[in-house]
Structures are given as C-alpha cells and as structure tokens.
C-alpha cells in the first residue's frame, strides 16, 4: 500500500529530526551557555517574529521549563493582531531598544533567537544588540533558506552570521516540505516541530549540566497537577516582580 500524505510527512519529520539531533556539539555548547547563565543568576531571553515567536513562548512559563526566562513578545511582531502587519514590521529596523526597554541585557545573559529565513531586520538587529552587550547568542534557523536569500538588514548580515552557536532546523527552502500530486504549492512546514525539539533538547542538556555541578535550577511544573499549583506559586512569588508578562 502506498504511503499516505501524513505518513510521508512523518518520514520527512523523522529524517529532519535525526539530522537535528546529530548537532551534538552545538546542542552541548548552547546548553553550556544556558547553564552558565543560570549558574550566574543571569537571564534567558527568547525572541522570534511571525510564527517563530512560538519558540519564545515554548520556553516561557512552561511545565518542565526554567523560571528565569524573559520572552520578548511584542504584539506587532506576532500574528494575533495583524498577521500581514507582522510580516512588514519584522523587516523594519529600530526594534531592539523597544524590545529591551523593560530589561537590562548583560554579559551574564543568553539570547535565543529563532528565525527560519534569518534575513529580516528584527532578529538580525536583536543579535547585533546582544553581541554589543556581551550576551551569548543562540540561533535556530534554516541554513539552506538563509544562505539562498539576501539580507533585509542594512548591515547585509544574516542571523546565522551573528550567533555564538547556530543550530540548523534542516528545513526546505520556504519551509513547507511535502509535494502532493495536483498541487503546485508544497505543504507541511517543519520549522516549528524541529525548532521546538532542538530548543527543548538544549534545555534538558543544560539542566543535566547544572545538576552535575550540584545546582538545582528553578523549574515550573504543571499547574494542572494536584501538587503543581503550590510548587509554581512559590516560584511566581519570586519571579513575577522580575518578569514583565509573568
């Protein structure tokens, strides 16, 4: 029996996940940046525009996730107010100071930036801003796509050129990966699935590194479990004054 469309998509995802997890050196290095940041009481900042903003939310206030996370979520750069507007906004310069107006980025911190194309101004400007501040920069991107297009930032740089460590999501150019007979447009994007897996792999590796040093990080649990609410309430008391949207 011929494979169904969803089985073909599953195979594509499996192949890309296998490639992503082979980035062992990069995953460990990114994890080391995060574990060092948490050890030194720094902050994990996370940002992405368009659909990539979901990766910033993936590590924020998440069951099994670190408490010392400050996501940079500006509605104009997301989808829920104006999806087409966000496409225009992410190409503009001048957003880095606005995204960091509530916080002081330092050399103790790490910035995780997700951008599939890596060509638009906002993520490039954020990485440059973080670089100037001395923070470590973890980039999750689609290298094939990024290397096939020109930069939309005045510097001419693309995001992967600014990362201290760069992780490839091994996506297709344009993200959608599955071609079906009778349809000229590919379907089945993969960047969110692979990007999330990479990101959580970094976080679990960072946790293991901290535990090996005798450091137990502050981690949220599920607030929908019987014990979770009390556990999280103690963390919220400590972190709500420090994280604007918590």
The DSSP line for 199-234 is: HHHHHHHHHHHHHHTT----B---TTSTTHHHHHHH
Cβ atoms within 10 Å, residue 51: 18
Does 77 have pLDDT greater than 90?
A: no
Q: Give the angle subtended at the CA of 85 by the CAs of 145 and 43, to the nearest 5°.
A: 70
Whole-number average pLDDT of the chain: 94
Query: Which pTM was predicted?
Result: 0.96
Task: Please give the domain boundaries of the chain with CATH numbers for all domains.
Answer: 23-239 (3.40.50.10490)
Structure tokens at 112: 């995780």
Q: Which range (4-8, 82-86, 173-177, 206-210) has the least confidence? A: 82-86
Higher pLDDT among residues 39 and 48, named by residue:
39
pLDDT of 91: 84
**pLDDT tens-digit profile of 120-147?**
999 999 999 999 999 999 999 999 999 9
pLDDT of 228: 83
- Determine the average pLDDT of the residues in 57-81: 91
47 and 69 in contact (C-beta within 8 Å)?
A: no
Does 99 have pLDDT greater than 90?
A: no
Give the side-chain half-sphere CA count within 13 A for 106: 9
pLDDT of 95: 84
């Amino acid at each position: 029996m011929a494979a169904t469309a969803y089985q073909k998509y599953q195979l594509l995802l499996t192949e890309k996940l296998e490639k992503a997890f082979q980035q062992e050196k990069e995953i460990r290095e990114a994890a080391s940046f995060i574990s060092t940041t948490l050890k030194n009481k720094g902050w994990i900042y996370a940002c992405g525009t368009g659909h990539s903003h979901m990766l910033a939310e993936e590590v924020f206030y998440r069951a099994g996730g670190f408490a010392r996370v400050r996501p940079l979520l500006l509605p104009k750069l997301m989808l829920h107010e104006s999806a087409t507007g966000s496409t225009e906004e992410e190409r503009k310069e001048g957003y880095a100071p606005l995204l960091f107006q509530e916080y002081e980025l330092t050399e103790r911190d790490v910035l995780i930036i997700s951008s599939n194309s890596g060509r638009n101004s906002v993520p490039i400007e954020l990485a440059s801003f973080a670089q100037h501040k001395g923070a470590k920069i973890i980039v999750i991107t689609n290298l094939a796509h990024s290397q096939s297009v020109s930069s939309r930032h005045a510097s001419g740089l693309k995001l992967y050129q600014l990362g201290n460590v760069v992780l490839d999501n091994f996506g297709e150019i344009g993200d959608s990966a599955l071609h079906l007979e009778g349809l000229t447009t590919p379907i089945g994007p993969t960047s969110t699935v692979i990007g999330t897996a990479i990101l959580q792999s970094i976080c679990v590796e960072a946790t293991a590194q901290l535990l090996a040093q005798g450091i137990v990080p502050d981690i949220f649990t599920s607030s929908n479990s019987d014990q979770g609410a009390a556990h999280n309430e103690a963390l919220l008391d400590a972190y709500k004054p420090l994280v604007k949207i918590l």
